[in-house]
Amino acid sequence: MKDMQEEKRRIVILAEGFFGDLEAKTASGLIMYKPEEVVAIIDSTKADRSVEDILGFGGDTPIVATLSDSLKYRPSALLIGIAPRGGKLPSEWRGVIKQALENGLDVINGLHDLLNEDPEFSALAASRGATIHDLREASKYNTVAIGDPSLIEATVVLTVGTDCKTGKKVTSIELAKEARKHGFNPHFVATGQSGIAIFGEGVPVDSIIGDFMSGAIEAFLIEKSKTYDLLCVEGQGTIVHPGYSGVTLALIHGSLPDAMILCHYPGREIVKSYEVKIPPLKEMIQLYEDLTRPIKPCKVIGVSLNTQELGDEEARAEIEKVEKETGLPAIDPVRFGCDKLMKAL
């Protein structure tokens, strides 16, 4: 990933059909945190609109219909900015990826499907001097967790959720930003493909084999704790997710947090794509705390709400309701900042 960080990237983001949706959260995340790196968005269904119009931020970054239309903005890389369920490459994207490589663009890929393992893509990349960055390539992780909290010499705050896509990544990023103002030397630790795409480093926990997930995050935190005093670790999934709960728990036991923040999307009652009813927040908090107790007891110190679909008034009411319900400080980190969480910490 070094070359991704050394010089400024000029990225065109593939978000066809989904720009602005939660399914394209890699796209919106990159525009939020690295707007200077984004030269264009590909989404033919929104090519006449502005990024600002769709996201509420992002200014006049152009939305174009095709990769060809984006070339005039001189991109250096194509980022696959949509995360389809299961991380498979939809066959209709092969064309645009080939076209990018043919034009010498690097490809930044967060899918489970590794493009470097695709003979056509890898041959094309080699012949055009382009690099494929498979963010979920995880074969190097091969150690079991040590499980000794004293090896991580920093305070660790982990976000946990009531579901996927509740704001865990954004909360962890915003908390790190806020902590800097409070005199910490903090670091955001990405654990998913979106965060890794944005910041160029992290641990793709959901792509590591079962026995080594905890060990991977633990080793990363031990290393980072030599430089930083506060590690804001992005959580994954939810402990009540039929498909991803194993990843969620591996992150909890691998990061051995000192504090957890529960992330929730108000109004969401069912785990996305499943029939699972999300338990009440107090039960979720209890369950997360129960799971840490035998190894390293840890409290949920606050609740982070993603109120993007609510008006200001409604958002404040929701926050108040959740504070009453849980007895914990609640925030929306994007809307109202993380100050309250820093105090709880």
Cβ distance 260 to 159 under 8 Å? yes
Does position 287 interact with its own copies (CB under 8 A)? The reply is: yes
| Cβ closest to its own copies, residue 86 vs residue 129 | 86
Among residues 53, 120, 148, 309, the one that binds its own copies under rule CB under 8 A: 148
Least CB distance from residue 62 to its own copies, whole Å? 33
The single residue listed with the structure tokens 């990225």 is 11
Does position 22 interact with its own copies (CB under 8 A)? The reply is: no
| Choices 65-73, 146-154, 313-321, 331-339 (CB under 8 A): range interacting with its own copies | 146-154
| Cβ closest to its own copies, residue 74 vs residue 85 | 85
Show the tokens assigned to 281.
Answer: 């927040």
193 backbone dihedrals φ, ψ, rounded to 5° = -65, -35
Cβ distance 109 to 134 under 8 Å? yes
Does position 206 interact with its own copies (CB under 8 A)? The reply is: yes
Among residues 135, 158, 173, 250, the one that binds its own copies under rule CB under 8 A: 250
| Cβ closest to its own copies, residue 91 vs residue 311 | 91
User: For the CA atoms of the chain, what is the radius of gyration?
Assistant: 20
Residue 160 bridge partners (DSSP): 262
| Cβ closest to its own copies, residue 141 vs residue 228 | 141
Among residues 40, 249, 319, 322, the one that binds its own copies under rule CB under 8 A: 249
Cβ distance 234 to 196 under 8 Å? no
Among residues 41, 77, 213, 338, the one that binds its own copies under rule CB under 8 A: 213
Does position 140 interact with its own copies (CB under 8 A)? The reply is: no
* Overall size of the chain counted in residues: 345
Does position 265 interact with its own copies (CB under 8 A)? The reply is: no
Among residues 9, 25, 46, 112, the one that binds its own copies under rule CB under 8 A: 112
Handedness of CA 17, 94, 236, 281 (dihedral sign): positive
Cα dist from 164 to 1, 18, 263, 274, 279, whole Å: 26, 17, 9, 11, 14
Q: Tell me how far apart the 2 most distant CA atoms of the chain are, in Å.
A: 61
**Given the rule CB under 8 A, which residues bind its own copies?**
85-88, 112, 138, 142-148, 205-211, 213-215, 239-251, 253-254, 256, 274-279, 287, 290-291, 293-295
